């Protein structure tokens, strides 16, 4: 039996971070590691992780809920894990840091977002962990600016099951599923409806795009608190005939290859697993130069990179690719290559294992 690893992932849904944890749990189990998973009662990962981890479901309200600390202290002392790995930020990073200090466990935290923190908070939080894993070089740079020593940070890129997304587009199904004519071009966006993802910018840019091309439909996949506001904006500007709100889709491997283009006008982004999925699916991408996005989208290779917040640049980049089918095909091939070379599950799993083993051998 390999190392015993206690994981903490408190997300309810299988968004990017929780999906990465599932992939890691599965890969570790295949390699003989013993996984213990602390997760939210009733969460999606609780169901998926059965058989690859011993589940410790708990009820927790997030950042202000001190019950998480009590649960973590009890489980760490009972299970005596070789590695204590904190994955999510729904209170887990704060209470997990305190639990690590109180138990002196070999503790690792994965940082998935690139938003800056006060220096004192970053140093206290990450000072509790023996190692910080970032999912992009962009996040690593943020932590270093906050005073976290470079030698304490390991960059392990997020990953996907590339073969799961590299499939033939079923455009007949896509047309029926979303009521899109086969002659129309589909521009997708896959993101939670939250301010930093930039949905408002896309809707604003869409006004100009639709005035120049009537054969474009925008398919927005995801849920979130801003969804009603974005829907209202679309209706207010008379664009509802060109927008489809598709909700949270668990069939993205089937949906993504059918997009002609994926757009991600984010203001902040740790990496953007949805962009890796799109690249693997052979979809050219228009995205902003923030966080870890340039580690996925290479300007002029598998997509176009624009400045954040620049609506005019967003409109022109989308139009450039919509008007150039051969360029889109060339970028599609490049995207598949980049996804396979840089973002494989094997590399992500082995990267985490390397961190674990370095901590075991350092004592």
Q: What is the rounded distance in angstroms from the CA atom of residue 114 to the CA atom of residue 141?
A: 9
Q: Could you tell me which of 52, 91, 89 has the C-alpha nearest to residue 71?
A: 91
Q: What is the pLDDT of residue 228?
A: 97
Q: What is the rounded distance in angstroms from the CA atom of residue 283 to the CA atom of residue 120?
A: 41
CATH number of the structural domain spanning residue 196:
3.40.50.2000
Per-residue model confidence as pLDDT tens for the chain (363 residues): 579 999 999 988 877 788 899 999 999 999 999 999 999 999 999 999 999 999 999 988 767 788 999 999 999 999 999 999 999 777 788 899 999 999 999 999 999 988 888 999 888 889 999 999 999 999 999 999 999 999 999 999 999 999 999 999 999 999 999 999 989 999 999 999 999 999 999 999 999 999 999 999 999 999 999 999 999 999 999 999 999 999 999 899 999 999 999 999 999 998 888 999 999 999 999 999 998 999 999 999 999 999 999 999 999 999 999 999 999 999 999 999 999 999 999 999 999 999 999 999 876
Q: What is the pLDDT of residue 91?
A: 74
Q: What is the pLDDT of residue 363?
A: 62
Q: Tell whether 106 and 250 lie within a shared domain.
A: no
Other Cβ atoms less than 10 A from the Cβ of 175: the count is 16
Q: What is the pLDDT of residue 125?
A: 87
Q: Tell whether 255 and 313 lie within a shared domain.
A: yes
Question: Which range marks the domain in which residue 193 is found?
Answer: 162-342
Q: What is the rounded distance in angstroms from the CA atom of residue 217 to the CA atom of residue 168?
A: 21
Q: Tell whether 265 and 154 lie within a shared domain.
A: no
Q: Tell whether 185 and 232 lie within a shared domain.
A: yes
Q: Tell whether 187 and 270 lie within a shared domain.
A: yes
Q: Tell whether 100 and 223 lie within a shared domain.
A: no
Query: For the whole model, what pTM was predicted?
Result: 0.84
Residue 32, token pair as written in the block: 């003989």
Q: Tell whether 302 and 315 lie within a shared domain.
A: yes
Q: Could you tell me which of 197, 295, 273 has the C-alpha nearest to residue 19?
A: 273
Q: What is the pLDDT of residue 209?
A: 98
Q: Tell whether 187 and 309 lie within a shared domain.
A: yes
Q: Tell whether 242 and 95 lie within a shared domain.
A: no
Q: Tell whether 350 and 321 lie within a shared domain.
A: no
Q: What is the rounded distance in angstroms from the CA atom of residue 108 to the CA atom of residue 29?
A: 18
Q: How many alpha carbons fall within 13 Å on the CB side of residue 156?
A: 27
Q: What is the pLDDT of residue 212?
A: 95
Q: Tell whether 64 and 113 lie within a shared domain.
A: yes
User: H/E/C letters for each residue in the chain?
Assistant: CCCEEEEEECCCCCCHHHHHHHHHHHHHHHCCCEEEEEEECCCHHHHHCECCEEEEEECCCCCCCCHHHHHHHHHHHHHCCCEEEECCCCCHHHHHHHHHHHHCCCEEEEECCCCCCCHHHHHHHHHCCCEEEECCHHHHHHHHHCCCCHHHEEECCCCECHHHHCCCCCHHHHHHHHCCCCCCEEEEEECCCCHHHCHHHHHHHHHHHHHHCCCEEEEEECCCCCHHHHHHHHHHCCCHHHEEEEECCCCHHHHHHHCCEEEECCCCCCCCHHHHHHHHCCCCEEEECCCCHHHCCCECCCEEEECCCCHHHHHHHHHHHHCCHHHHHHHHHHHHHHHHHHCEHHHHHHHHHHHHHHHHHCC
Q: What is the rounded distance in angstroms from the CA atom of residue 352 to the CA atom of residue 157?
A: 10
How many domains in the chain? Answer: 2
Residue 9 φ then ψ, to 5°: -140, 110
Q: What is the pLDDT of residue 218?
A: 98
The answer for residues whose C-beta is within 8 angstroms of residue 78's C-beta and 6 or more apart is: none
Contact by Cβ (8 Å): 347, 128: no
Q: Tell whether 214 and 66 lie within a shared domain.
A: no
Q: Could you tell me which of 175, 82, 193, 162 has the C-alpha nearest to residue 130?
A: 82
Q: What is the pLDDT of residue 1?
A: 53
């Amino acid at each position: 039996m390999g190392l015993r690893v206690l994981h903490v992932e408190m997300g309810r849904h299988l968004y990017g971070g929780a999906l990465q944890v599932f992939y890691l749990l599965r890969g570790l189990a295949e390699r003989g590691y013993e996984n213990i998973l602390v997760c939210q009662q009733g969460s999606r990962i609780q169901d998926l992780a059965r058989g690859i981890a011993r589940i410790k479901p708990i009820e927790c309200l997030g950042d202000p809920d001190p019950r998480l600390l009590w649960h973590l202290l009890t489980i760490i002392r009972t299970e005596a894990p070789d590695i204590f790995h904190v994955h999510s930020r729904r209170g887990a990073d704060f209470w997990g840091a305190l639990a690590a200090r109180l138990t002196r466990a070999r503790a690792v935290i994965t940082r998935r977002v690139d938003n800056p923190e006060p220096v004192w908070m970053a140093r206290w939080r990450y000072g509790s962990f023996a190692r910080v894993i970032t999912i992009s070089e962009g996040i690593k740079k943020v932590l270093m600016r906050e005073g976290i020593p470079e030698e304490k940070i390991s960059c392990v890129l997020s990953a996907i099951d590339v073969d799961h997304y590299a499939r033939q587009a079923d455009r007949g199904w896509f047309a029926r599923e979303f009521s899109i004519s086969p002659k129309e071009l589909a521009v997708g966006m896959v993101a939670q409806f939250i301010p930093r993802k930039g949905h408002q910018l896309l809707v604003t840019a869409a006004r100009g795009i639709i005035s120049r091309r009537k054969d474009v439909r925008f398919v927005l996949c995801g849920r979130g608190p801003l969804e009603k506001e974005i829907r209202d904006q679309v209706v207010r500007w008379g664009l509802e005939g060109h927008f489809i709100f598709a909700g949270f889709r668990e069939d993205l491997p089937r949906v993504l290859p059918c997009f002609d283009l994926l757009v991600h006008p984010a203001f902040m982004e740790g990496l953007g697993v949805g962009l890796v999925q799109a690249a693997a699916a052979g979809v050219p991408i228009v995205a902003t130069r923030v966080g870890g996005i340039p580690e996925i989208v290479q300007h002029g290779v598998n997509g176009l990179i624009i400045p954040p917040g620049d609506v005019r640049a967003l409109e022109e980049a989308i139009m450039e690719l919509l008007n150039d089918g051969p360029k889109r095909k060339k970028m599609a091939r490049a995207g598949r290559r980049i996804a396979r070379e840089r973002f494989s599950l094997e590399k992500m799993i082995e990267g985490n294992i390397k961190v674990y083993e370095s901590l075991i051998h350092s004592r």
